Amino acid sequence: MRAMGEFVRVEVSDQIATIRLDRPKMNALNGQLQQELGEAARLVDADAAVQAVIIYGGERVFAAGADIKEMADRSYAYMIEHSKVLADSLTAISRIGKPVIAAISGYALGGGCELALSADFRVAGESARLGQPEIQLGLIPGAGGTQRLTRLIGPAKAKDLIFSGRHVGAAEALALGLIDKVVADDQVYTAALEWAATFVGGPTLAVRAAKQAVDLGAEVNLDTALEIERQLFAGLFATEDAKAGMRAFIDKTRPKFTGD
């Protein structure tokens, strides 16, 4: 499958989908790119042949944030309605029911950092720079930065980055827990592919259920989260994959999962 937008394209190889941002020079997230990003997320989520997803901005930059020139003259009335496009597109990324890896080269700032936060995992090059600099424009992050960042690294560390607007390098981002792996700059996409490949051939319905249990459970109290987990766990007993997995365990063979 190969799907093309003007600024976002989706390419699938070996059951791994790459959502590729391509809006020179810095992949600024203008309105059209935001819409195409949401469409790409929904496309790969619905494709049963896709078992893992990579978000990639290319060798030079991941995404340097929203298009400030586009936003500069916007009114409150306009933004209260249209800011939802970016928020919804990143929510669509976060709700892809498959492992999603952000492959970060260069800058991931503002909306670009929020896009990376929407993934399950983040691998970055040694020269990568991440941050939420909106405060320097008299703004705050508006597409998940105050929420996903806080849930990922904790409120005090998130406030430090958000209140200051400072950029952090890959080493500090790794120490903060903002990213999961640092590699050489020219190995970012390769490392993401290798990571994504570890999910191919797995029980896709169980992976989707596990992602739902973790993500939904994080938003509610423990008793509700445990009930969500229990229901998803029980539901998997209706799948052929669960039968195949348990039978293979008993027979001491390797399971073959079909996604059924």
**Domain 2-197 architecture:** Alpha-Beta Complex (3.90)
At residue 15, the pLDDT reads 97
Please, is 91 exposed, middle or buried when counting C-beta atoms within 10 Å of its C-beta (0-12, 13-18, 19+)?
middle
CA–CA distance, 189 with 171 (Å, rounded to integer): 18
- Beta-carbon-side half-sphere exposure of residue 33 (alpha carbons within 13 Å): 23
Could you give the residue numbers annotated as active site?
66, 111, 114, 134
Confidence label for 65 from pLDDT (cuts 50, 70 and 90): confident
Burial degree of 249 (CB within 10 A; 0-12, 13-18, 19+): exposed
158/139 Cα distance (integer angstroms): 15
Average pLDDT over residues 101-127: 97
The fraction of the chain above a pLDDT of 90, given in percent, is 88
Residues of the chain with CATH 3.90.226.10: 2-197
Q: Is the dihedral of CA 161, 180, 63, 210 positive or negative?
A: negative
Place of tokens 């939420």: 132
Extract the tokens encoding 57.
Answer: 């901005």
- Can you tell me whether residue 103 is helix, strand or coil? strand
Interval 156-169 mean pLDDT? 98
Please say if the pLDDT value at position 127 is more than 90.
Answer: yes
Look at residue 68 in the predicted model and tell me its pLDDT.
82
Give this prediction's pTM. Answer: 0.94
How far is the C-alpha of 37 from the C-alpha of 259, rounded, in Å?
A: 26
Cα–Cα distance measured from residue 50 to residue 142, given in angstroms and rounded to the nearest whole number: 30
pLDDT at 241: 95
Helix ranges (H only) for the chain are: 31-46, 68-71, 76-94, 111-117, 145-153, 155-164, 170-176, 188-197, 204-217, 222-235, 240-251
Cα atoms in the 13 Å half-sphere on the side-chain side of 16: 20
What SS3 class is residue 125?
Answer: strand
Say yes or no to pLDDT of 147 above 70: yes
Residue limits of CATH 1.10.12.10 in the chain: 204-251
Pairing of the two strands 121-125 and 181-183:
parallel
CA 256 to chain centre: 28
The confidence band for 94, taking pLDDT boundaries of 50, 70 and 90, is: very high
**Helix, strand, or coil here: 179?**
coil
pLDDT band for position 216 (cuts 50, 70, 90): very high
Residue 240 confidence (pLDDT): 95
- Domain 204-251: CATH architecture, name and number where available: Orthogonal Bundle (1.10)
